[in-house]
Amino acid sequence: MKTALVTGASRGIGTACAIALSKMGYNIVLNYNKSEEKAENLANIITENYGVDVMCVKADVSDKTAVDEMVSKALEKFNCIDVLVNNAGVSSVKLFTDTTVDDWNEIISTNLTSVYNVTHAVLPSMLRNHSGNVVNIASMWGEVGASMEVAYSASKAGVIGLTKALAKEVAPSSIRVNCVSPGVIMTDMMSSFSDEDIKLIREDIPLDVLGTAKNVADAVAFLVSDKAQFITGQVLSVNGGMVI
Ligand code: NAP
């Protein structure tokens, strides 16, 4: 049986990815940082409904030591990690001139350095197996930039660059590395926006619907499946046409 590690699986897109992968038959390593109860509830739902093995591990993905410990525990239990979804992330909306170096470092370390941390820990087992799939959750703002989200946009542009370069480096070992790049997805991350803001944003989405976490998870499920076996180094946008 194969195993998938999903970072930031306690809420939102990570939860939807963990469910989608468990439906595909993967054992799940469910990473969380603060939302322990949500992670434990999700683990119970997955075990009861999909008959796979689940392990919950707390780790701040920006902390290399914590990540190395998490991956060691996962490998001890499951021997190998076949799929890695680097999903954990935070956002912040403020003027660039109001962004302190601490704000900057928090966004970059949680959204970008984390992808280095977790992938660096997981990749040796994929290289040994000569197979594996990494999917990084980027953002449309990493593709085109968002006003008042400069640090966030830079972190996600970094994730896209990392994805393309690593895809080239590990392709000879039959490991695929791709990005899913979501548009506006209705999760806790959007909770600071008012109903009026959301209405205005929706008017900018050609398909005239707001995205769901499942929309993103469906794209992740496709990329790790055999249907995508000739696809690597790509950015799959899931945004209702907002950025084309
Ligand atoms: P969310 O609902 O706010 O959930 C964020 C998840 O990340 C939570 O499970 C949280 O875990 C985890 N997390 C945050 N910091 C962490 C850390 N230091 N270590 C480990 N886990 C951490 O956000 P979401 O909307 O699902 O976003 C998921 C990903 O999609 C992010 O990378 C985000 O940038 C990206 N994205 C989202 C949207 C959108 O519109 N929602 C659009 C584009 C891209 P705890 O609660 O356990 O701390």
pLDDT digits (tens, 9 = 90+) for 24-58: 999 999 999 999 999 999 999 999 999 999 999 99
pLDDT by residue (tens digit) across 110-167? 999 999 999 999 999 999 999 999 999 999 999 999 999 999 999 999 999 999 999 9
Ligand 1 midpoint to CA 90 (Å): 5
Beta carbon of 157 within 6 Å of any ligand 1 atom: no
- Please tell me the predicted confidence (pLDDT) of residue 55: 98
User: Could you confirm whether 26 is annotated as catalytic?
Assistant: no
- 171 belongs to a structural domain: yes
Within a domain: residue 243? Answer: no
Quick check: is 244 in a domain? no
Distance 14 CA to ligand 1 centre (A): 7
Q: Catalogue the long-range contacts made by 140-144 (C-beta closer than 8 Å, 24 or more residues apart).
A: 140/181, 140/182, 140/183, 140/237, 140/239, 140/242, 140/243, 142/181, 143/181, 143/235, 143/237, 143/243, 144/243
Helices (H), ranges, the chain: 12-23, 36-50, 64-78, 101-108, 114-129, 140-144, 150-170, 195-203, 213-224
Residue nearest to atom 39 of ligand 1 (CA): 185
Q: Is 149's C-beta closer than 6 angstroms to any atom of ligand 1?
A: no
43 part of a folded domain = yes
Work out the average pLDDT over 87-106: 98
* Domain presence at residue 26: yes
Mean pLDDT of 220-237: 98
Evaluate: CB of 139 within 6 angstroms of ligand 1: yes
104 domain residue, yes or no: yes
Q: What's the rounded Cα separation, in Å, for the pair 1 and 25?
A: 7
Q: Percent of the chain scored above 70 by pLDDT?
A: 100
Owning domain of residue 59: 3-238
Return the residue whose CA atom lies nearest to atom 46 of ligand 1.
35
* pTM for the full predicted model: 0.99
8 lines ligand 1 (CB under 6 A): yes
What's the structural domain count of the chain?
A: 1
Torsion on CA atoms 218, 224, 228, 232, rounded to nearest 10: 120
What pLDDT is attached to residue 6?
99
pLDDT for position 68: 98
- Of all protein residues, whose CA lies closest to atom 32 belonging to ligand 1? 89
Residue 222 maps to which CATH number?
3.40.50.720
Q: How far is the CA of 114 from the centre of ligand 1 (A)?
A: 12
The pLDDT value given to residue 219: 99
